[in-house]
Chain A
Amino acid sequence: MKEIATEDEVRAALLALGDDALEVLTLRAAGYRRLLPPEDVEDLVGETLQRVLDGCRKWPKDVPFMAFLLQTMRSIAWEYGKRNRREIPDSRIGSANDDDEESESFIEAQPAEGGDPADAVALFRFAEDVERMFGDDDDVMAVIIGRVEGLSAAETRERFEMTPQAFAAAQKRLWRGVVAGKLDGWR
């Protein structure tokens, strides 16, 4: 049975975060700017903090605290995305599976009214966009597929026969590619 941190332990872990971790958190939150409407991005950090502090999201102590925080943030971002999608009629959103040409022209054609369809769709397109961007890079795709399948880094390396160096290099390319602004979510 997994040991769950107490509320005091969560509070202590939050207050003990160093500058480097806080910078990562700041950047992470900013990364959602193009995936969610501005008000949701603004809420995201506050909601994450609230849920971990009040125990709505429980911290299994075998998970590193930062990983737990980022996981909580992803989960809330997904909830926001789903809510936004519900609030905008399907006819204004199109499908996340539409091909590029259709969806881009759709987004251009629809003015924001009661919510920006581009905001509602961006989150659902994120995985697709990343896959499109790194589709030719087997190692980066292995890092992504491993994570989607819930594998640890070691399991991913074993499954895809990657050396630790190749894995780290692939993570670096993934990170640089995303931050370089080639991906909507990080511009």
Chain B
Amino acid sequence: MKHIFQLRIGPVGFRVGSDWRGPVDAVAALYDDYPKPFDGIPDFNVRLFAERPWRRVLRPSVMIGGDYELPDAAPLPLRLGLLAAEMGMNLQMALGQRRYLLLHAASVERDGRALLMTGVSGAGKSTLAALLMARGWRLMGDEFALVDPETGLVHGFPRLVSLKNQAIEVVERAAPGARFGPLQPDTPKGHIRHLKPDAASIAAMDVPARAVAILFPSFGHAPDLRPVPPAETFVRLTQASTNYVALRERGFHALTRLVTGVPAHAIDYPDTEAAIEMVERLWEQSA
């Protein structure tokens, strides 16, 4: 491939190749101080390519491929090259990751202890993770939490935080000093702007943490907090995992250990201020 950028996010190395300069430049600009893959050997390849040679210049659209591919994946316009690269890396993780149990969850850490937040798309995982980072938490990731079946520890995957629609303005206000990517309007998921994790979060990306709380946030309801029993947590997390089935017995043991050792709560919140207050109060009680 003509343009190449290599990077490592937490324990996972990527090589991103592109037919165009734009997507790779956008990735390189925001991941500028991330480390390179261990030994220079990436775990996954992401390819951003033109469907036909002439589509490099004529109505250019980006096909997303790599070591693991979905048939019939829809291309993105070239202006959304950064989003394409991010989707490509997520896709490799979702389809190809076999070392860690992958939970579709945001995670933040304080004092070596991690808080996992998982929920359906739009529940506010990324927003809450970004706001907690602005309040001094270490961001471990807004998309995937990596549970090591051997140790039970959670490994960070602090890629760019993907903020959507109203969340963009909320976080811009809360973290005025943070570094943001370009606004990408009219994506298949609405407006998207990426937020770069802060320097402390990037510096600590290799440090795993013990999970001590699991939250299921739900946006747009009156404030409520209720415990979720382990069996329900287990089922919810199997649905939030992209590779639980593929990991088989190892996945079952990793998840069983997590839900029996870590208390879980569902929180409903009307606005982000209320959510942050509820999360931090819960954290102090569990400390």
Query: Are A and B part of the same complex?
Result: no
